């Protein structure tokens, strides 16, 4: 098992927090020394993060916990995908924002339909600023989509039955 030189294995660990993370890209992106912590989707995160803090210096956060973790640590943003231990708690960051900015640079669209409203959608909101108008579509409301769209639902979730693309250009956020 890999450990950073000089790191105390009891207090300097790294982990991935998620639900059904085997279907996520995170385990392939974040290899050793990341511990995989696969949690029930309804876990109470605040006490869990408090209990894990003495043992971990950071976490990659994946679906469906990006928004819930942000709330649990009182982050100034709506979703986080990275946690770093601080002297008195956790700091949360969202590396998805840079990726979202890159998507908008490639799409060059002023209006974009976002399919999904989870943690990646929060990164898209932050990256869009006032330059791009976003329209969010939840799974139950997904029907015909045209124009420029960004598909944010994980591969582990089936595409909505009624969803159809007509004259659409679609970017897919894969995770």
Find the catalytic residue in 10, 66, 101, 162. Answer: 66
d(CA 174, CA 152): 7
d(CA 84, CA 36): 16
> Residues 172, 120: contact at Cβ < 8 Å?
no
Q: Which residues contact 123 (CB under 8 A, 6 or more apart)?
A: 79, 81, 94, 96, 97, 99, 100
Structure-token pair, residue 2: 């890999």
66 in catalytic set: yes
Q: Which long-range contacts (CB under 8 A, 24 or more apart) does 133-139 make?
A: 135/111, 137/113
Burial bucket for residue 46 (CB in 10 Å: 0-12, 13-18, 19+): middle
Q: Which residue has the tokens 């986080």?
A: 80
Q: Which residues are catalytic?
A: 66
């Amino acid at each position: 098992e890999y450990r950073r030189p000089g790191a105390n294995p009891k207090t300097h660990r790294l982990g991935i927090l998620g639900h059904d993370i085997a279907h996520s890209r995170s385990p392939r992106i974040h290899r050793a020394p990341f511990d995989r912590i696969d949690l029930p989707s309804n876990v109470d995160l605040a006490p869990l993060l408090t209990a894990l803090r003495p043992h971990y210096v950071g976490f990659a956060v994946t679906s469906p916990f990006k928004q819930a973790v942000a709330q649990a640590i009182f982050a100034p943003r709506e979703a986080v995908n990275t946690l770093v231990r601080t002297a008195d708690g956790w700091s949360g960051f969202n590396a998805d924002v840079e990726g979202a900015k890159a998507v908008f640079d490639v799409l060059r669209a002023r209006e974009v339909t976002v399919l999904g409203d989870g943690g990646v959608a929060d990164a898209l909101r932050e990256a869009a600023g006032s330059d791009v108008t976003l329209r969010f579509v939840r799974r139950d409301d997904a029907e015909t989509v045209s124009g420029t769209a960004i598909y944010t639902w994980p591969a582990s979730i089936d595409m909505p039955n009624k969803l159809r693309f007509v004259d659409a250009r679609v970017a897919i956020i894969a995770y």
